[in-house]
């Protein structure tokens, strides 16, 4: 993975399973909040699957497009774009119809002190969207943050684990699910709630955060000593493929992450070895962490394509060669839910 072009093109390589699943979901695909960390690659992946499978569908990306050049870049890939502020009811109402909707809008960082805005983004926007697209299938990005911290030996929270979100961001994520569920019960809307824990790309994510700390000789806080992560391309595939798993009556809940409970201490040692240095640690591993068990989605849609070892190799190489980064740390170490 030598540069952004190679990375982007890899992230946009659809599996045959994705093409088959999208074939079974008739109608266009509309991606809301497509301008963030994951949306552009998800939109390109969907478009590549549509083209490769000769599917009769449009892929439409909706966002404010505050990142320079992104709108043009997506258009060049053949993705249609609509600039809209989803906080505005009239703009939501004016969006094009689509049988398949991927909901990726969310707000996390900057919650503390502006809690009202996070709640508007994570519950008011869902209400406008769920009302507008009550007749569509909707795959809703949620977060593993809706769960309580669980023992690190537990294998992670399962879908049946009662939610116990810590802090207002996590509470608003549960609010997002509840609002969508309300519309699903009210109008029979078919949906799936994808509780994601840490997608990673080479430009951001838990592995990038840790590799950077090791490379620059900064100590790693061990208090959140265990995490889950998943390659962004695999998370995007799951999200698109989960359209065919949508159900009415509140929808289906699926955890979405990799199969491992990953040790932060172990990752520190692995990256240190790659960079020919020694890792610095501070604190001790807590007995409880935010961990998800994604066995159900693996059973439904197969294991992720990219194993952890590959993600580590690519990340170490990317950081060593000074590859571009988004500069968006995950703050996965946060234990009080304050973002």
Ligand X SMILES: NC(=O)c1ccc[n+]([C@@H]2O[C@H](COP(=O)([O-])OP(=O)(O)OC[C@H]3O[C@@H](n4cnc5c(N)ncnc54)[C@H](OP(=O)(O)O)[C@@H]3O)[C@@H](O)[C@H]2O)c1
Integer angstrom CA distances of residue 121 from 19, 38, 70, 116, 299: 32, 17, 22, 9, 32
Is 35 an interacting residue with respect to ligand X (CB under 6 A)?
yes
Is 207 an interacting residue with respect to ligand X (CB under 6 A)?
no
The site map against ligand X for 38-57 (x = CB under 6 A) is: xx------------------
Are the beta carbons of 205 and 231 closer than 8 angstroms? no
| Residue corresponding to tokens 């929270």 | 157
Nearest to 144 by CA among 74, 60, 229, 87: 229
SS3 assignment, position 14:
coil
- Cα–Cα dist 246/253, whole Å: 9
Nearer to ligand X, 33 or 156 (CB): 33
Binder among 64, 203, 288, 335 for ligand X (CB under 6 A): 64
Nearer to ligand X, 64 or 178 (CB): 64
Tokens of 178: 């509840």
Is 100 an interacting residue with respect to ligand X (CB under 6 A)?
no
The site map against ligand X for 113-142 (x = CB under 6 A) is: ----------------------------x-
Number of residues near ligand X (by CB under 6 A)? 24
Binder among 12, 14, 22, 33 for ligand X (CB under 6 A): 33
Tokens of 161: 């684990």
Binder among 7, 29, 30, 36 for ligand X (CB under 6 A): 36
> Phi, psi at residue 30, to the nearest 5°?
-115, 125
The window from 16-24, 46-54, 58-66, 293-301 that contacts ligand X (CB under 6 A) reads 58-66
Nearest to 125 by CA among 33, 15, 4: 33
Binder among 12, 50, 101, 104 for ligand X (CB under 6 A): 104
Binding site for ligand X (CB under 6 A): 33, 35-39, 63-67, 84-87, 104-106, 108, 141, 143, 196, 198-199
């Amino acid at each position: 993975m030598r540069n952004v072009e190679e990375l982007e093109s890899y992230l946009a390589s659809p599996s045959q399973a994705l093409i088959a699943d999208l074939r079974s979901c008739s109608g266009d695909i509309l991606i809301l909040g497509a301008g963030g960390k994951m949306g552009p690659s998800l939109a390109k992946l969907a478009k590549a699957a549509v083209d490769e499978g000769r599917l009769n569908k449009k892929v439409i990306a909706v966002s404010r497009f505050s990142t320079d050049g992104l709108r043009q870049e997506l258009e060049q890939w053949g993705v249609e774009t609509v600039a809209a502020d989803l906080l505005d009811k009239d703009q939501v109402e004016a969006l094009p119809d689509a049988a398949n909707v991927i909901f990726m809008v969310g707000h996390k960082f900057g919650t503390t002190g502006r809690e009202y805005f996070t709640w508007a983004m994570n519950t008011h926007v869902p209400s406008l969207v769920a009302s507008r697209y009550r007749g569509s299938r909707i795959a809703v990005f949620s977060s593993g943050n809706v769960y309580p911290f669980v023992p690190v030996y537990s294998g992670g929270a399962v879908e049946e684990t009662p939610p116990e979100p810590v802090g207002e961001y996590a509470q608003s994520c549960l609010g997002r699910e509840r609002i969508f569920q309300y519309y699903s019960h009210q109008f029979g809307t078919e949906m799936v709630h994808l509780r994601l824990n840490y997608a990673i790309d080479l430009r951001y994510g838990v592995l990038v955060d840790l590799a950077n700390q090791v490379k620059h000789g900064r100590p790693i806080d061990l208090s959140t000593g265990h995490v889950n992560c998943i390659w962004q391309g695999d998370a995007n595939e799951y999200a698109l493929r989960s359209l065919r798993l949508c159900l009415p009556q509140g929808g289906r809940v699926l955890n979405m992450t990799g199969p491992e409970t990953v040790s932060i201490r172990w990752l520190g040692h692995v990256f240190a070895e790659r960079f020919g240095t020694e890792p610095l640690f501070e604190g001790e591993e807590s007995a409880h962490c935010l961990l998800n068990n994604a066995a159900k989605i693996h059973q439904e849609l197969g294991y992720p394509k990219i194993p952890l070892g590959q993600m580590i190799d690519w990340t170490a190489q990317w950081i060593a060669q000074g590859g571009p980064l988004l500069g968006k740390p995950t703050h996965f170490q946060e234990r009080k839910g304050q973002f």
